[in-house]
A and B are shown apart, each in its own frame.
Chain A
């Protein structure tokens, strides 16, 4: 190494300015080269999962990455590349079942081995001598459009049956774009809606196109860092089998409720069927065809505390939820969908921190309640 300051190596301020200019130019060129890459799919598909470390049993999501060894990413390629579903050579013998839904399906406050999909796998259900292998494709935000995007991606893995758990909270039209999976994958969600003949502006608010600055490496550094973190935490997932921190205390779902009769801004009896995203549910069933979709109205906590005559729980006033169930039954009947309403399938004691999150016992009970409808749906796929 040549020591600066030795004869023959002295530089002038001009040399230094030229060096700085070159470095800045190089940085600017890299930034500009990144701009046309609207999506980071190429980066998202580069994954250690299923190659060096085992695939995750559920889609990556982490409120506290350092403790849960998990990180919330919205890049759909990365989400699926890290999932055990993305195994390079799947077994042809088993039937593949996708379980789609919100945080209750994902398994909030449950270990990956206790979620609904895991409990279903424990039942070792056989359909015409083939075992059904269940894959957890739940994701912790409540939006049918988000579910539809995941379901549609999941079809690439050639499932034999799809179980789609829904609840009223996922239905309001105004809520669909609240999921980061939807809002941060706008091009993809818009294309999907157009494909199913739905006007994007029904669900997606108008958005300005991102500035040039936001589309460069610097503007998207957070997104890139998340993809990198997902890979690093893959090592900890492999080492520990932990993908969700269960060690922290949590507040039990509310038993005593406010005397509030509104739902998502709708006054009592003010919600109409068109305020809910039935067309997204229909699109999911259409997208999957001929793969059968079992639609499940998922269990909710039913309070017996203060004001329980007005509300079932923190989420739902009785009038809204009753109307929703009635409309769901009608839609299922009219469209010939395979539906099962398990809204009161679980005892109150099985619910944890929310009116839709159940514990391992709840997941086990729900799995057993679902086994017959699933077998019926799987049999119909042959």
Chain B
């Protein structure tokens, strides 16, 4: 996101925060969040994709909202929220014709027939759920499969190209130009995480009662749309329901966070981006020492870029009375790998822990012949980290990066268990604690940083070669 977009959205958030009537603020927040899905969507060469991707985000959100809405709740509220979302879709369609040429060019809505069909999908769901409320369960299963399916397509280069080719064929474009970047769907990853969390908790009976409007505001919340953090619905809605108008202290803290985020992203991260490790640079560099510089630069660039965006999201959310969870807590100063993953992209790790790691460990340990704890932890940590790797993209590099961390976590887990008694005796010495602390921080930082080699270089052979060169090979 460009600085100007960030400042415009922060200004809009500030305006919303000043609204005295809570219901008016909530309504405006829903409308702005839905509109931001379109406004933030980057242009893509695929015809109509700039309109369809945001529209599909809204359709999926409405479907999930309809599925999880309490059966006893009156339909009136759901219709009001759905009506507002439909109005945003139609308004975007109309705006394209009203604005001067070039404005919101990426949106380019399709013909009216397709637009009506898009609105008809949730309408059909409403009809189905009103007539047969029990159909919500299999409808939920379909949406889960759909979300995971879209996810797999977007993260897989070959599938992306296949879908892009098909889309191009349908819209009369050259299939020769099909490319994975055609399918740039802003915020889908984070939207999918939120929707899956809502559906899975609903199926498990853990989800509190959520109106469609609340659910849609949670899923499409504009400060966190493009880069998280991934809040939990029950926590978000608590803030949404009670959020008072913004106070001067909120505004000051929000301003501080946004400014901090802008400096992190646009000053520090963008400067480091010029010297980071990437495939071409790794090929050209002449000595291992420079590779270390580029690798350190990448490590810090990634942190400042991502945490900068998180600061902006948290600050902007604060302006409308929502306290988004923290995503980073000094990750490079953590004494071990477990602590690192408890402080790096925390909301993503929590999500995977809640919906992958914990259920898997429970399953393995509660079988008629339970797995031994170390084996279950090994499978759980390796599976968790490989899955997090695949979330970044379906490729061998990300699998290896995930395995690197999975194995690291397992080794650290076993080492901690083994040295618990020996370690406590040593660490009780006055000289030992700071030494062990600093050593742990350095070791963890370098383990993580070396792992980024697999992350940033898409060719595993090149990554292995770079790792060799870093150590004089």
Q: Is the CB of B274 within 8 A of A232?
A: yes
Enumerate chain B residues within 8 angstroms of A10, measured Cβ to Cβ: 247-249
Complex Cα distance, B267 from A228, in Å, reads 11
A-B contact count (CB 8 A): 55
**Binary contact track A231-246/B, C-beta < 8 Å → 1, others 0:** 0110110111110000
Known: A11-B248, A11-B252, A16-B252. A239 touches B274 (CB 8 A): no
CB of B290 within 8 Å of the partner chain: yes
Q: Is the CB of A4 within 8 A of B286?
A: no
**Binary contact track B25-54/A, C-beta < 8 Å → 1, others 0:** 000000000000000000000000000000
Q: Is the CB of B293 within 8 A of A239?
A: yes
Chain B residue at smallest Cβ distance from A4: B249
Chain B residue at smallest Cβ distance from A12: B248
CB of A66 within 8 Å of the partner chain: yes
Chain A residue at smallest Cβ distance from B318: A4
CB of A22 within 8 Å of the partner chain: no
CB of A92 within 8 Å of the partner chain: no
Q: Is the CB of B293 within 8 A of A235?
A: yes
B199 to chain A, nearest CB (A): 35
Contact of A16 among B248, B275, B290 (CB under 8 A): B248
Q: Is the CB of A233 within 8 A of B286?
A: no
Known: A240-B284, A240-B286, A241-B286. A235 touches B275 (CB 8 A): yes
CB of B374 within 8 Å of the partner chain: no
Q: How many residues on the B side are at the interface (Cβ–Cβ under 8 A)?
A: 19
Q: Is the CB of A4 within 8 A of B253?
A: yes
B293 to chain A, nearest CB (A): 7
CB of A250 within 8 Å of the partner chain: no
Contact of B247 among A5, A232, A239, A247 (CB under 8 A): A5
Q: Is the CB of A233 within 8 A of B274?
A: yes
Complex Cα distance, B181 from A256, in Å, reads 38
Enumerate chain B residues within 8 angstroms of A239, measured Cβ to Cβ: 275, 281, 284-287, 290, 293-294
Q: Is the CB of A240 within 8 A of B249?
A: no
Known: A4-B249, A11-B249, A16-B251. A228 touches B271 (CB 8 A): yes
Chain B interface helix/strand/loop/mixed: helix
Contact of A236 among B249, B251, B274 (CB under 8 A): B274
B243 to chain A, nearest CB (A): 14
Chain A residue at smallest Cβ distance from B256: A4
Q: Is the CB of B284 within 8 A of A242?
A: yes
CB of A9 within 8 Å of the partner chain: yes
Complex Cα distance, B252 from A11, in Å, reads 9
Chain B residue at smallest Cβ distance from A20: B255
CB of B98 within 8 Å of the partner chain: no
CB of B350 within 8 Å of the partner chain: no
B248 to chain A, nearest CB (A): 4
Chain B residue at smallest Cβ distance from A235: B275
A112 to chain B, nearest CB (A): 13
Complex Cα distance, B413 from A31, in Å, reads 55
Enumerate chain B residues within 8 angstroms of A238, measured Cβ to Cβ: 290
Q: Is the CB of B294 within 8 A of A232?
A: no
Contact of B281 among A13, A15, A240, A247 (CB under 8 A): A240
Complex Cα distance, B271 from A10, in Å, reads 37
Enumerate chain B residues within 8 angstroms of A65, measured Cβ to Cβ: 274
Complex Cα distance, B284 from A241, in Å, reads 8
Q: Is the CB of A232 within 8 A of B271?
A: yes
Enumerate chain B residues within 8 angstroms of A13, measured Cβ to Cβ: 248
**Binary contact track A325-350/B, C-beta < 8 Å → 1, others 0:** 00000000000000000000000000
Contact of B285 among A67, A232, A240 (CB under 8 A): A240
A202 to chain B, nearest CB (A): 41
CB of B127 within 8 Å of the partner chain: no
A267 to chain B, nearest CB (A): 39
Task: State which residues 274-328 of B face A: CB under 8 Å.
Answer: 274-275, 280-281, 284-287, 290, 293-294
B292 to chain A, nearest CB (A): 10
Q: Is the CB of A4 within 8 A of B252?
A: yes
Chain B residue at smallest Cβ distance from A67: B280
CB of A26 within 8 Å of the partner chain: no
Q: Is the CB of A9 within 8 A of B249?
A: yes
Enumerate chain A residues within 8 angstroms of B287, measured Cβ to Cβ: 239
CB of B250 within 8 Å of the partner chain: yes
Contact of A229 among B274, B280, B281 (CB under 8 A): B274
Enumerate chain A residues within 8 angstroms of B281, measured Cβ to Cβ: 236, 239-240
Complex Cα distance, B135 from A351, in Å, reads 72
CB of A304 within 8 Å of the partner chain: no
CB of A19 within 8 Å of the partner chain: yes
Q: Which of A228, A233, A236 has the most chain B CB atoms closer than 10 A to its own CB?
A: A236
Enumerate chain B residues within 8 angstroms of A11, measured Cβ to Cβ: 248-249, 252
Enumerate chain A residues within 8 angstroms of B286, measured Cβ to Cβ: 239-241
Complex Cα distance, B253 from A241, in Å, reads 46
Enumerate chain B residues within 8 angstroms of A236, measured Cβ to Cβ: 274-275, 281
A239 to chain B, nearest CB (A): 3
A27 to chain B, nearest CB (A): 12
A14 to chain B, nearest CB (A): 8
Complex Cα distance, B123 from A334, in Å, reads 90
Enumerate chain B residues within 8 angstroms of A66, measured Cβ to Cβ: 274
**Nearest 8 A-B pairs (CB), nearest first?**
A239-B290, A4-B249, A240-B284, A232-B274, A11-B248, A16-B248, A239-B285, A4-B253
Task: Known A-B contacts: A4-B249, A16-B251, A240-B281. Give 4 more (CB < 8 A).
Answer: A4-B252, A12-B248, A15-B248, A239-B275
**Residues on B close to A: CB < 8 A?**
247-253, 271, 274-275, 280-281, 284-287, 290, 293-294
**Residues on A close to B: CB < 8 A?**
4-5, 9-13, 15-16, 19, 65-67, 228-229, 232-233, 235-236, 238-242, 247
5 CB-based A-B contacts, threshold 8 Å: A11-B248, A232-B271, A232-B275, A233-B275, A240-B285
